[in-house]
Amino acid sequence: MIQNLFSKIRRRRERSAAQCTATGGAGQYNPQSSRDALICSVSNHTMSSPDRLNKLIDLAEYCNRAGIAGDFVECGSYKGGSSAVLSRYLDKKRHLWIYDSFKGMPETTDKDGETARQCVGLCAATVQDVIEIMNTVGTEPSQYTITKGWFVDSFRKQLPDRVALLHCDADWYESVMLVLETFYDRVTDGGCIILDDFGFWEGCREAFYDFCFSRGEKPLIERLGDTQAYWIKGKHHNREGFIKGVKNADV
């Protein structure tokens, strides 16, 4: 089952990379070109589909357009593809913080389910993988910080004071809960929180519900496809319009 699951993900990624190669986009980045070229350039360094990467861009652009204060944070970077995409939308005041064990997916708990247990250790990458793709897209080392280690250790190290965009690609219950407990209070009102695995892994979704219940939070959840979920902190309705790319206007 797990082999079939990840085989499908790899095949999808390979198809995306092949399409990029056919159009001359893979492995290249031109700051003047479209976001599609950027997404193509990171296709071999991410498990995320193009539509999910496009959504990250939408949300990063919203943060910049709306003047949301704070840095960008990614928890669970794999080979750095989505980190690289976010890095190209840092304005002059922002920094990108990247957290990953670089040891693959961690141990699970019963809340994550049997399927998750079979994935422990998969999706390992290296710090050099992330640096390589950052160089490919032209992001300067001074614009980002990579912190290696399990979250329980790395979150005790240097953290950003304020967060405008929090991208959580952390899979399991304990990991997602730790991300939310560590960073949620640092997210500025109007900032974005993205859960990449909301519809994919049971533990991610359960952590979200348990965290919100413990805080009395009732976020206005938006969905993209069957996996990703996100919300704008402090937003309670969509009557005034929607984010560009999902639904069209300033938050």
Cα 77 from Cα 103, distance rounded (Å):
11
Rounded percentage of the chain residues whose pLDDT exceeds 90: 69
pLDDT digits (tens, 9 = 90+) for 149-179: 999 999 999 999 999 999 999 999 999 999 9
Query: What confidence score (pLDDT) does residue 5 get?
Result: 56
Residue 25 pLDDT more than 70? no
Question: Is 98 inside a domain boundary?
Answer: yes
Question: Is 246 inside a domain boundary?
Answer: no
The domain that contains 161 carries what CATH number?
Answer: 3.40.50.150
Question: Is 11 inside a domain boundary?
Answer: no
Asked whether 231 and 193 are in contact (CB, 8 A), the reply is yes
Mean pLDDT of 81-86: 97
Question: Is 238 inside a domain boundary?
Answer: no
Query: What confidence score (pLDDT) does residue 250 get?
Result: 47
128 or 16, which is more confident = 128
Residue 18 pLDDT more than 60? no
Question: Is 251 inside a domain boundary?
Answer: no
Question: Is 249 inside a domain boundary?
Answer: no
Residue 193 pLDDT more than 80? yes
**Domain boundaries, position 133:** 49-232
Neighbours of 187 (CB within 10 A): 22
Question: Is 12 inside a domain boundary?
Answer: no
Question: Is 161 inside a domain boundary?
Answer: yes
Model confidence at 116, pLDDT cuts 50, 70, 90, reads confident
Long-range CB pairs of 246-249, under 8 A, 24+ apart, other chains included: 246/55, 246/58, 246/222
